[in-house]
Structure 1
Amino acid sequence: MNRFLHFILLSISIFLGFTFWGAGMAKLFHEHQFFGWIGPVWLIEELEPYGLGFYGKFIALSQICIGYMLVTTRYKLLGSIMMIPMIANILMVTISLDWRGTPYVLAFLLLLNLILLWQYRDFFRPLIDEGKSRFDIKTRRIRTASGHLVWLAGLGLQLFAIQVSYWNWIVACGVVLTGLVLSALSFRADLISVATEEVKIP
């Protein structure tokens, strides 16, 4: 994959991730004071009269987790797969509530998501064949348990920041940034873990 294409795909991942991660955080942050460009931030309040407030919170948490997979670029494949049913759920809500314009925005975001999935097309043939396929799967960067744990710690800080926002908005933003930096360091944790294993091998 050439550098320009890699940059484009990375940019799509970050854009999609920020879009949905920011949307979910804005729904749950105190008084919806979080950065994001897509709404509505008051989805939970809109659904509560129909007894669907808890469902609205579920959507928000899904947006945070799935979006975070993409904005940190560590789990682009898993995040892209999970984003399809999430967008479908949001689309059904917007159609049911007759929100005009939103379905077109979601269609554009779904298109970007499909572009991301296309780079992982070599993974899908074994799924279709329900087993080993004669088609090769391209090698990709090694992931390690330590890297996964570092990334999960960063995600945990995002959820913790929501609670902190009810106490102090500035501190909550600091917790969010700390989590993002920590998750970015998960790639470094992979390299350290791999290097350590190589040293152990006689």
Structure 2
Amino acid sequence: MLKNKDFLVLLIRLFLGYVFFSAGICKLTHGNFGQLIGPPWLEQSLAKYGLGLFAQVVACCQVLCGALLFTQRFSTLGAVMLVPMNVSILAVTVSQNWTGTPYVNTVFLLLNLLLLGYEYQRFRFLFSAEAVAPAIPSRVEPLRIGRLPWAILGAALVTMVLAPFQYQLTNISGLITFGLAGAILLTSALLSRLEKVLVAQAIVNMFLMTLGFVFPFAPMLVAANCGVILLVLLFYIWRNGRKKERTPQLTSAAA
């Protein structure tokens, strides 16, 4: 079983991966893909100023950042690339006086920085003129190996290519991408059963959000499942805390 911080990092990667991957695909499909943030009409809005291509580049970058976070293997690169995007989005929402949106984007930026803080050892060489010892592998490092990360990038690329032309196939390819992102965690021996339950619930929500266009009760199911995820996550954190308290007591008794 992982420590709380290790597992929470995995959940944050999944969450931010979904937020930005789905936002990018939604823009490329002109709103025909379920997502949490917008706006899907970005290209039409910027095209008035001759910036339609720029809007497409933004959407593609969102898809790429989200896919990199999904892979686990390239999640550090995805988190680094996501910082300037999050800062830019926050600046735009503040300058446009959008109500509430800047607070949401601030949360995304903080979660992004938490991911980088978790892997701070990888960046020590940037702040030292002397040779730096290799970073100590994190507990989730084994998730970086295997072929699934490459499969995720392939599925994400297919989804992005299909997005402007075939909405139905785009949705199917997007679901495959989400399923592969979950498969990395669900097939790993690092995660406990309860951790895998939480991951599975997160993937279910991604599916429900994507299928929201054809399944009218999807928003209610997403909200209900989010409530269940929160309760299970709180139980998970509480249980890990109790185990940590018992461990010193058992060690003292054995001594």
- Would the TM-score normalized by the shorter structure come out above 0.5? yes
Tell me, yes or no, if the aligned pair for 2:18 and 2:66 is still in contact at 8 Å: yes
Q: Which residue is equivalent to 2:47? A: 48
Distance 1:111 1:78, change over 3 A: same
Structure whose CA Rg is larger = 2
Alignment of 1:69-148 (within 5 A): 69-129=68-128, 132-134=131-133, 136-139=134-137, 140-141=141-142, 143=144
Q: Which residue is equivalent to 1:21? A: 21
Tell me, yes or no, if the aligned pair for 2:27 and 2:41 is still in contact at 8 Å: yes
Distance 1:50 1:101, change over 3 A: farther
Q: Which residue is equivalent to 1:199? A: none
Amino acid at match of 1:137: A
Deviation at 1:100, TM superposition (A): 3.5
Q: State the Cα deviation string for residues 5-37 of structure 1 (Å, max 9, x = none).
A: 2221111111111111111110001x4111111
Give me the whole-angstrom Cα distance separating, in 1, the residues matched to 2:51 and 2:128: 39
Q: Which residue is equivalent to 2:226? A: none
Shifted more, 141-150 versus 98-107: the winner is: 141-150
Distance 1:53 1:99, change over 3 A: farther
Task: With the length of structure 1 as denominator, give the TM-score of the two structures.
Answer: 0.77
- What is the percentage of aligned positions where both structures have the same residue? 32
* Structure 2 unaligned residues grouped into runs of 5+: 186-255
Give me the whole-angstrom Cα distance separating, in 2, the residues matched to 1:78 and 1:123: 11
Deviation at 1:39, TM superposition (A): 1.1
Q: State the Cα deviation string for residues 85-126 of structure 1 (Å, max 9, x = none).
A: 111222343345443432222111000111111110101111
Distance 1:127 1:167, change over 3 A: same
Q: State the Cα deviation string for residues 157-193 of structure 1 (Å, max 9, x = none).
A: 2223314xx3452x33222223444566679xxxxxx
**SS of the residue 1:37 aligns to:** coil
**SS of the residue 2:132 aligns to:** coil
Q: What is the aligned residue count?
A: 186
Distance 1:77 1:123, change over 3 A: same
Say yes or no: does 1:34 pair with 2:33: yes
Give me the whole-angstrom Cα distance separating, in 1, the residues matched to 2:175 and 2:94: 34
* Structure 1 unaligned residues grouped into runs of 5+: 188-202
Give me the whole-angstrom Cα distance separating, in 2, the residues matched to 1:168 and 1:56: 19
Distance 1:115 1:76, change over 3 A: same
Give me the whole-angstrom Cα distance separating, in 2, the residues matched to 1:3 and 1:35: 32
Q: Which residue is equivalent to 2:60? A: 61
Say yes or no: does 1:7 pair with 2:13: no
Amino acid at match of 1:67: G
Q: Which residue is equivalent to 2:176? A: 178
Tell me, yes or no, if the aligned pair for 2:70 and 2:152 is still in contact at 8 Å: no
Bigger RCO of structures 1 and 2 (CA < 8 A, at least 6 apart): 2
Q: Which residue is equivalent to 1:152? A: 153
